[in-house]
Each structure stands twice: as structure tokens, then as C-alpha cells.
Structure 1
Amino acid sequence: MRCQPNNGHQVYIWLKNVQTCLLCDEQTGSISSICAACESDLPWLIDQCDHCALPLPLSGMTCAQCIRQPPAFSQVIVPWLYDFPIDALVTRFKHQAKWPLGRLLGEMLGQTLQHRFDEGLERPDLLLPVPLARKRLRQRGYNQAAMLAHWLGDALRLPVDERLIKRIKETPAQQGLDAKARKRNLRDAFALPTPARVFGQHIALIDDVLTTGATAHALARLLIQAGARQVDVYCLARTARPGD
């Protein structure tokens, strides 16, 4: 076809040129779509619970909730606290289809994970995005967790299966519910039609924000009951305890 470039010619690739920062609109001076100043100002989560990543005053601790009722997942890998501007970026990605913002956050999460893998964190066998109910998926038109999972899968060379877990129960939105209400809301909400697929596997659940951990716990428990060896959670941001 005449519209296709010849193999011997260079093709203009936009992503290989100097970018404008998606947060401050200044040139980044590199191919990155966020400048160094904005990246350093993000609310990086440093001190956290070793199990659920709840922000804590010191590192290397376990929160009281995880001591009383340990969640079914083993650990949470998350780079940021759910605070400005991460909260605004996630909201625009999730509810306003600002996919470049989601891609930016996904790439940075991928860099965090690769750094942790290089330090000895065990790589999972499979990435599973948290599923959306059919009604909500039709309304929104996309599952932001599935988009994150595929971006991470490409960057980290890990397989992704967004159809393995089914959300079989239409539930009210989790936002605005306390921890107990979230757990009741998720009772029998998920199904695993082919449990043999996860037997003996190390699974990583992918989501945008971890709040109480109720959804991740329900999914991890389902996977562990089906024979999964370990379930971790990878997400963009972690909320603090209300009032903190």
C-alpha cells in the first residue's frame, strides 16, 4: 500500500520525542511524560503495614487490623498514598476516560514493580485484574483495572487473564461504605469457573486503589480456596485510615 512507509526509512515516533509533563505542562527534557519535579512531589508511600500497606508512622510494622484478622492476600505493592494529585489523576482516568493519565500511572507502577523484582521480590505467574460487574462495565465502557493489568503485563512480560474471575453479583458501589458493609456487599459476588487454572500459581491482583481491602480479600480467599499458592495485590494508591 502506498500509505505504508518503506522499511529503509525512519518513521516518526511521537513517544520518542521530548514530552510535555502531563501534570504541569512544562517540557520534561526527556521522553518521560512527567517531569522530575512533579514526580518527586507525588505522595510516595514509604512507611506502611507489611501486609496491607496501610500508612503507618514507621516501616516494618503490621497494623492492628491485619493482626486481628489477617487478609487472604500476602502483601500489597503500591507506590502512592491516595492523596493529591494521585487521587485526581486516578479519578480522571477511572471516571473520565483520561487514558493517558492511567497509562502514565501504570508505567510508573511497572517501574516500581521491576525495581522490587530486581531486589528479590518474587515474580507472579499471572496478573488478574479486579473484574467489574456487567452493568457497570456497560455504563463505563472499560475496566480500568484490566487496562492497568495489560499495560503491566506488556512492561513486565507477565501473562494477563481478565476473564478468569467473574463478577456474578451486581453490588452497589463500594464508595461510601465502611469495612463491614463492604464485606457484606461482596459476599458471593465473585466466581471462578475454572479453578484448575490457578492451582499452585502465584497470582497478583491488579486494581487502581486499595481502600479497606475487602475486595482484594474476597478475591484472594476465592483463589486460595481454589489452590492458588500465593496472592499479592498490585495497585496505584492506598488510602489512609479515615481521620489520619
Structure 2
Amino acid sequence: MDPRLRGDDVSGICGTCLRDPPAFDATVAAVDYAIPLDQLVLQLKFGARLALAPWCARQIRDAVLARPGLPLPDLLCPVPLGPGRLVERGFNQALEIARPLAAALGVACHPALALRTLDTPAQSGVAPSVRAQNVRGAFAVEAPDLVEGRHVGLVDDVMTSGHTLGELAATFKRFGAVRVTNFVFARTPPHP
């Protein structure tokens, strides 16, 4: 099992992470992105069922509490949507999850800390082999002084390949973040 799911036990690092370590330091996922819970994500994201966001946040909080010793971040930042997608959807599902998660963990939420400077195609519609390229250079940090020397928590609804979260983590590390942890409701299970 990948230590970015379990903590810092390096004995379980997968081959992909050994060959190409991600910029983030850990990932907390509440559930596997699989039937039937995948439908909740789709209802939140595409059906505007915003009442699901606080429930997703509680599931992430419970996953955090189940990992004693996991360092809490200094601040939370939702993965930003591009301007076009934000207008199309009308909300950012990551932000809708991040707000109640921040309250539950007692951590500040900074909704505009990161900006998506490139309106990239949705990762779900891009071949896995080009997902890293699709998001390369897509993010900027709005307030670098909030990042330097701090542990940043990234919040998203789903982690599939990890390229979006990895690119955003790399962006924060370029601005001096000492640690980046992903907090996601669902993660696509690794393929055997």
C-alpha cells in the first residue's frame, strides 16, 4: 500500500512512487472511488447536490481521526477550478467540501490561495498517459507569504491519477511549503 495513503511508512511505497515521487507528502482518502459511493461524487459535482459536501467532509475528518499521529495542516486550500468550468458548474465542489472540513479540523480555509491559471480539459476526459502534461503549469499561488514554511492541506472530491494534486503540491513547494497533504473524499483504487 502506498504510504501516501497510510502515513510515512516508506516500506509500502509503490514502484511508480519510487520511480517518480509525487510532490505531495501524504494522502488521506475517506473511501474508494467505487460503486456505490462514486455516485455521490457525481451527484455533488454534476447534479449540484451541495448538501452532500458536508457529509463528504465528515467522512474525510473521520479518516483523519482514524490516523493518530497524522500531522494536521496549518491551512486548507481547495483545488481550484478554471474560470470556464466554475462558470459552467456554478460552484467548486472542492471548496464546498473544504469549508466544513476546515471547521471540523479547526484549520483555516483559504479558498483563493491557489488559482488555476490555465483552463485545462477535465482530467476525466484526458487519456491517463497525458494527464500530467494536461495540468503542467496550470496553477499559481495568490499569497506566497501564507505558504512559506507551512504545511498545506489540499482538498478535492476525487483523486484518480494524482497528477492534479501533484502539480498543485509542486506549485506550493516552489513557494516554500514544507509539507503538502491531500485530503480527498474518494480515491480510485490502485489496479493490481
Match of 1:153 in 2: 102
Describe the SS at the equivalent of 1:65: helix
Q: Deviations over 1:147-180 (max 9, x none)?
A: 1110101111110001011111111111132343
Give the TM-score of the pair, scaled to structure 1. 0.73
1:70 aligns with 2:9: no
Equivalent runs, 1:146-225 vs 2, <5 Å = 146-225=95-174
Asked whether the 8 Å contact 2:33–2:189 carries over to 1, the reply is yes
Match of 1:37 in 2: none
Match of 1:22 in 2: none
1:49 aligns with 2:20: no
How far the C-alpha of 1:193 sits from its partner, in A, is 3.1
How far apart, in 1, do the equivalents of 2:140 and 2:45 lie?
A: 24
User: Aligned pair in 2 of structure 1 residues 60, 209: CA closer, same or farther (>3 Å)?
Assistant: farther
How far apart, in 1, do the equivalents of 2:73 and 2:52 lie?
A: 25
AA of the residue aligned to 2:2: C
Match of 1:235 in 2: 184
How far apart, in 1, do the equivalents of 2:109 and 2:53 lie?
A: 18
Asked which structure has the greater CA Rg, the reply is 1
AA of the residue aligned to 2:138: A
AA of the residue aligned to 1:154: A
Q: Deviations over 1:53-109 (max 9, x none)?
A: 39xxxx961111101000000010112111111101111011101122232222121
How far apart, in 2, do the equivalents of 1:153 and 1:65 lie?
A: 31
CA RMSD of aligned residues (A): 1.8
AA of the residue aligned to 1:156: L
Moved more, 222-231 or 96-105: 96-105
User: Aligned pair in 2 of structure 1 residues 176, 135: CA closer, same or farther (>3 Å)?
Assistant: closer
Describe the SS at the equivalent of 2:124: coil
How far apart, in 1, do the equivalents of 2:168 and 2:39 lie?
A: 27
Describe the SS at the equivalent of 1:240: coil
Asked whether the 8 Å contact 2:54–2:101 carries over to 1, the reply is no
How far apart, in 1, do the equivalents of 2:182 and 2:146 lie?
A: 18
Match of 1:100 in 2: 51
Moved more, 232-241 or 69-78: 232-241
Asked whether the 8 Å contact 1:89–1:102 carries over to 2, the reply is no
Asked whether the 8 Å contact 1:130–1:145 carries over to 2, the reply is yes
Asked whether the 8 Å contact 2:112–2:142 carries over to 1, the reply is no
How far apart, in 1, do the equivalents of 2:13 and 2:37 lie?
A: 25
Pick the structure with more helix per residue: 2
Q: Give identity over the alignment, percent.
A: 37
Which protein has greater RCO, CA pairs closer than 8 Å, 6+ apart? 2
Query: Where does the alignment leave 5 or more consecutive residues of structure 2 unmatched?
Result: none
AA of the residue aligned to 2:49: K
Give the TM-score of the pair, scaled to structure 2. 0.92
How far apart, in 1, do the equivalents of 2:95 and 2:132 lie?
A: 22
How far apart, in 1, do the equivalents of 2:56 and 2:142 lie?
A: 31
